Amino acid sequence: MWKMSRQDILDLAVGAAILGAGGGGDPYIGMLMALQELDKGREIRVADPEEVPDDSFVVPVAGMGTPTVLIEKIPSGSELVYALKALEEYYNREADFLTPIEAGGINSTIPLVVAARRGLPVIDGDGMGRAFPELQMTTFHLYGIKATPMSMADEKGNRIVLDTIDNYWAEKIARVVTIKFGGTAWIAIYAMKGSDYKRAAVWRTMSLAIKIGRAIREAKERGKNPIDALTEASNGFLLFRGKIVDVKRFNVGGFARGEAVIDGMDSFSGSKMVIKFQNENLIALRDGEPVAMVPDIIVVVDQETARPITTERLRYGLRVAVIGIPCSEKWRTPEGLKVVGPKYFGYDYEYIPIEKLMGR
Amino acid sequence: MWKMSRQDILDLAVGAAILGAGGGGDPYIGMLMALQELDKGREIRVADPEEVPDDSFVVPVAGMGTPTVLIEKIPSGSELVYALKALEEYYNREADFLTPIEAGGINSTIPLVVAARRGLPVIDGDGMGRAFPELQMTTFHLYGIKATPMSMADEKGNRIVLDTIDNYWAEKIARVVTIKFGGTAWIAIYAMKGSDYKRAAVWRTMSLAIKIGRAIREAKERGKNPIDALTEASNGFLLFRGKIVDVKRFNVGGFARGEAVIDGMDSFSGSKMVIKFQNENLIALRDGEPVAMVPDIIVVVDQETARPITTERLRYGLRVAVIGIPCSEKWRTPEGLKVVGPKYFGYDYEYIPIEKLMGR
């Protein structure tokens, strides 16, 4: 068990945006809220998965909704605690540990706020090892954990508890409620025993995010190339360098979909990359051929600073590098690929691990 | 406390369709389900409001959704009990009494099915004295009773508990969930103490519906005019006789809206009536002038048999009589008219009670 410092939170926000694969909302807002908690004298304690007793009660907490809306509706903090409270009341049991549902985006930092407010430790791990747009896209789901009973709360004080027949129904119902809430909901979901968490979670993704954020920061402080630091810390690949020449986007059923086109520069001159996204980046095609595919992580960063650029902030003219990072092995099974492989998202490609595509 | 006979159920279904003001779904399905319960040897006990102890736990149960869908998705019965169970678990208290939320349509008979299955008495009263299309349109709401915590269930086994900041939010959220459920949800709502029920409910609407149904049946058996029997038993007015010459309808956000045009016959020859509806009939205009307005009950019946015709069954060529029936006095306050008056439904008329419009 260790306590998170201000610097840890700052580094985490950078690393989490990388692992967010361009989605999950900008971690900046959650970072500010987490820093504010430390300013108020509260603590954020982090537990290693090894420290979680089998019979403890673990509750993942998160925000849900369109990232674009999230930016305009900054939460006060109390609504997050309210969602957790609703689920605890339903179970008639208090949480022993919190954990993120995803390692990327705002949902990497949101649990820190709840943890600080409630004095509960947050576990260094999550249910995705990255960010994904739908509730059933978790390794928890893959390992048979039920998403429901789950709770939802909005900033007005509305609360809902869902108990659905499967995790796809949880997603369907929660999605329409989120839209009706005004675009954002706060949720407590996949409540489970410590033993289930340990076998189903992607371990130590919070410390991985901090490691990535720290590597980028230190490279800049030392005048080194932050892109190199990023690929090294994340065990990732440089997929492309270039200038964004087109971005198309459309908001469908609560999801932000679109694609970005990048003209190659430097060693990629004369090549073209197309990135397709739905909240997160899903497929990277170089001159028509896939070089990285979901569930592997594709992230667009500023070419000079390695600052990650979320899909909602992609725009014409940005000079970017595209990085690919291998996903958790948990996703690379036939069952995992059914839930989050290219075909689930409507792309007719057989998944090939990024290491293979890159010839490593 | 009395037990409902097969004949009571048959009469109730006819009277409830009258009080349904053309909406709330055809009571026929609920009637069949209630008869089936008696066939299985179960009892349906009815309690007078006077018999309800102040500290008892009263739970209204109902179906929610577009009546047109309801006809195609006949419930098995167990899903109704499931919604009640979800709310009882949330409260950690079993219901002492059930009651209808509305006196009209399928929701007049649905509580009988739940009552039979659970062996619970159903109270002779309801929260509308008619049928209405939205959850906050109840005298319970008018008297400050909270719609939530409320539960929802579908036939697949999905369950939801809502706890909203007000009854309008309950309506908003429950409506989108109902649509996602496939058009129909089963709900338990406005759970309250016996003392609250007694001050907030419209009393003895179940026995009124049976009285109306019986009067129509007996008139037919005796070769008398069933329309006269209907107006007498319901304390109502004959507003129009004629032939339907046009029906327009559109399904918007889960509601069936539309209007019917009727050409006058007999003493109404040369006149034209337009009826505007949203699930229920809301305004009756004779030659452009209102002759009955919501919350008073407007119902279209077959000219010969007095069989009520729900709005989803209105069609060109039907020969009909239009009947107007005074609503509960509870609705005729400024507060009541704010919730269910003509202006709430978008009609720019000051409400005038039907007795006044008819010069009685």
From first to last of its 360 residues, what are the pLDDT tens digits of chain A?
999 999 999 999 999 999 999 988 778 888 988 999 999 999 999 999 999 999 999 999 999 986 555 556 666 667 789 999 999 999 999 999 999 999 998 899 999 999 999 999 999 999 999 999 899 999 999 999 999 999 999 989 999 999 999 999 999 999 999 999 988 899 999 999 999 999 999 999 999 999 999 999 999 999 999 999 999 999 999 999 999 999 998 876 666 689 999 999 999 999 999 999 988 999 999 999 999 999 999 999 999 999 999 888 899 999 999 999 999 999 999 999 999 999 998 889 999 999 999 987
* Domains held by chain B: number: 2
Question: Is B179 in contact with A177 (Cβ distance < 8 A)?
Answer: no
Whole-angstrom Cα distance, residue A250 to residue A324?
24
Nearest-CA distance B181 → chain A (Å): 8
Question: What does the pLDDT read at residue A78?
Answer: 76
Question: Is A164 in contact with B179 (Cβ distance < 8 A)?
Answer: no
Please indicate if any CB of chain A lies within 8 Å of the CB of B172: yes
The sign of the dihedral angle between the CA atoms of A137, A138, A144, A147 is negative
Residues from chain A that touch B159, judged by Cβ atoms under 8 A, are 162-164
Question: For B90, which residue in chain A has the nearest alpha carbon?
Answer: A90
* Helix%, strand%, coil% for chain A, nearest 5: 40, 30, 35
Residues A197 and A232 in one domain: no
* Residue among A156, A164, A176 whose CB faces B176 most closely: A176
**Nearest Cα to B227, choosing from B244, B209, B245, B239?**
B239
* Residue among A157, A164, A177 whose CB faces B165 most closely: A157
Question: What does the pLDDT read at residue B62?
Answer: 94
* Residue among B159, B165, B176 whose CB faces A180 most closely: B176
Please indicate if any CB of chain B lies within 8 Å of the CB of A35: no
Which among A164, A166, A175, A178 is the top mutation candidate for probing chain B, defined by the most B β-carbons within 10 Å of its own β-carbon?
A164
Instruction: Record the tokens describing residue B187, joined without a space.
Output: 């709900």
Which among A85, A151, A154, A163 is the top mutation candidate for probing chain B, defined by the most B β-carbons within 10 Å of its own β-carbon?
A163
Residues B140 and B281 in one domain: no
Residue A216 lies in a domain: no
Question: Is A177 in contact with B173 (Cβ distance < 8 A)?
Answer: yes
Specify the CATH number for the domain of residue A25: 3.40.1610.10
Contact B163/B149 with Cβ under 8 angstroms? yes
Q: B190: how many CB neighbours lie within 10 A of its CB?
A: 30
Question: What does the pLDDT read at residue B145?
Answer: 98
Contact A74/A155 with Cβ under 8 angstroms? no
> Helix, strand or coil for residue A353?
coil
Residues in chain B: 360
Residue A213 lies in a domain: no
> Helix, strand or coil for residue A114?
helix
C-beta pairs of B153-157 under 8 Å, 24+ apart in sequence: B153/B79, B153/B80, B153/B82, B153/B83, B153/B86, B153/B185, B153/B186, B153/B187, B154/B79, B154/B181, B154/B182, B154/B184, B154/B185, B154/B186, B155/B73, B155/B75, B155/B76, B155/B79, B155/B184, B156/A165, B156/A169, B157/A165, B157/B79, B157/B82
Nearest-CA distance B161 → chain A (Å): 5
A149 cis-preceded (ω within 30 degrees of 0): yes
Residue after which a domain boundary falls, among A203, A218, A252: A203
Beta bridge partners of B240: B322
Instruction: Record the tokens describing residue B240, joined without a space.
Output: 């129009």
Contact B201/B212 with Cβ under 8 angstroms? no
Residues from chain A that touch B172, judged by Cβ atoms under 8 A, are 180
Question: Is B159 in contact with A160 (Cβ distance < 8 A)?
Answer: no
> Helix, strand or coil for residue A221?
helix
Q: Which residues of A91-112 are buried (b: 16+ CB within 10 A; e: fewer)?
A: beeebbbbbbbbbbbbbbbbbb
Residue after which a domain boundary falls, among A203, A238, A258: A203
Whole-angstrom Cα distance, residue A263 to residue A242?
5
Residues from chain A that touch B158, judged by Cβ atoms under 8 A, are 162-165, 169, 173
Contact A127/A201 with Cβ under 8 angstroms? yes
Residue after which a domain boundary falls, among A188, A203, A218: A203
Residues B57 and B195 in one domain: yes
Nearest-CA distance A21 → chain B (Å): 30
Residue B182 lies in a domain: yes
Residue A220 lies in a domain: no
Residue A305 lies in a domain: yes
Measured between alpha carbons, how far apart are the two ends of chain A, in Å? 36
Nearest-CA distance B91 → chain A (Å): 10
Which among B78, B135, B155, B162 is the top mutation candidate for probing chain A, defined by the most A β-carbons within 10 Å of its own β-carbon?
B162
Question: What does the pLDDT read at residue B30?
Answer: 86
Q: Which residues of A160-194 are buried (b: 16+ CB within 10 A; e: fewer)?
A: bbbbbebbebbbbbbbbbbbbbebbbbbbbbbbbb
Question: For B156, which residue in chain A has the nearest alpha carbon?
Answer: A165
Nearest-CA distance A73 → chain B (Å): 19
Residues in chain A: 360
Residue B209 lies in a domain: no
Angle, vertex CA A104, rays to CA A217 and CA A282, nearest 5: 110
Give burial (CB, 10 Å; 0-12/13-18/19+) of A254. Answer: middle
Question: Is A173 in contact with B160 (Cβ distance < 8 A)?
Answer: yes
Contact A13/A51 with Cβ under 8 angstroms? no
Whole-angstrom Cα distance, residue B51 to residue B55?
12
Beta bridge partners of B263: B243, B272
Question: Is B180 in contact with A180 (Cβ distance < 8 A)?
Answer: no
Low-confidence ranges of chain B (pLDDT < 70): 66-77, 252-256
Please indicate if any CB of chain A lies within 8 Å of the CB of B177: yes
Contact A319/A263 with Cβ under 8 angstroms? no
Looking at chain B from residue 79 to 98, which residues have their Cβ under 8 Å from any Cβ of chain A?
86, 90
The amino acid occupying position B302 is: D
**Nearest Cα to A201, choosing from A254, A253, A143?**
A143
Query: Phi, psi (5° rounding) for residue B160?
Result: -140, 140
Residue A217 lies in a domain: no
Specify the CATH number for the domain of residue B266: 2.40.390.10
Query: Phi, psi (5° rounding) for residue A94?
Result: -85, 150
Residues B133 and B237 in one domain: no
Residues B233 and B196 in one domain: no
Please indicate if any CB of chain A lies within 8 Å of the CB of B313: no
How many CB pairs below 8 A link A and B?
55
Contact B44/B112 with Cβ under 8 angstroms? yes
Residues B299 and B172 in one domain: no
Residues B194 and B267 in one domain: no
Query: Phi, psi (5° rounding) for residue A354?
Result: -60, -35
DSSP letter for A206, please: H
> Helix, strand or coil for residue A239?
strand
* Residue among B158, B161, B179 whose CB faces A160 most closely: B161
Residues A241 and A172 in one domain: no
Give burial (CB, 10 Å; 0-12/13-18/19+) of B317. Answer: exposed
Question: What does the pLDDT read at residue A358?
Answer: 92
Residues A191 and A252 in one domain: no
Whole-angstrom Cα distance, residue A177 to residue A289?
38
Q: Are strands A202-203 and A125-126 parallel, antiparallel or unpaired?
A: antiparallel
Whole-angstrom Cα distance, residue A318 to residue B240?
71
Nearest-CA distance B182 → chain A (Å): 11
CA separation (Å) from B140 to B21, B167, B297?
19, 10, 19
Residues A288 and A343 in one domain: yes
Residues from chain A that touch B176, judged by Cβ atoms under 8 A, are 176-177, 179-180
Residues from chain A that touch B157, judged by Cβ atoms under 8 A, are 165
Interface predicted TM-score (ipTM) over 0.90: no
Residues B232 and B154 in one domain: no
Please indicate if any CB of chain A lies within 8 Å of the CB of B78: no
Nearest-CA distance B165 → chain A (Å): 5
Looking at chain B from residue 260 to 279, which residues have their Cβ under 8 Å from any Cβ of chain A?
none
Residues from chain A that touch B253, judged by Cβ atoms under 8 A, are none
Question: For A159, which residue in chain B has the nearest alpha carbon?
Answer: B163
Residues from chain A that touch B90, judged by Cβ atoms under 8 A, are 90, 161
* Residue among A156, A169, A177 whose CB faces B176 most closely: A177
Query: Phi, psi (5° rounding) for residue A329?
Result: -60, -25
Nearest-CA distance A76 → chain B (Å): 17
Instruction: Record the tokens describing residue A47, joined without a space.
Output: 């537990």
Query: Phi, psi (5° rounding) for residue A95?
Result: -65, 140
Place of tokens 């692992």: A19
Whole-angstrom Cα distance, residue A139 to residue A128?
6
A333 Cβ neighbours under 8 A, 6+ residues apart: A142
Question: What does the pLDDT read at residue B183?
Answer: 87
H or E stretch covering B264: strand B255-264
Question: Is B158 in contact with A179 (Cβ distance < 8 A)?
Answer: no
Beta strands in A129-235 (DSSP E): 150-153, 159-163, 184-188, 192-193, 202-203
Task: List the domain range (segments joined by +) for residue A346.
Answer: 226-357
Residue B211 lies in a domain: no
Residues A231 and A181 in one domain: no
* Residue among A158, A164, A172 whose CB faces B169 most closely: A158
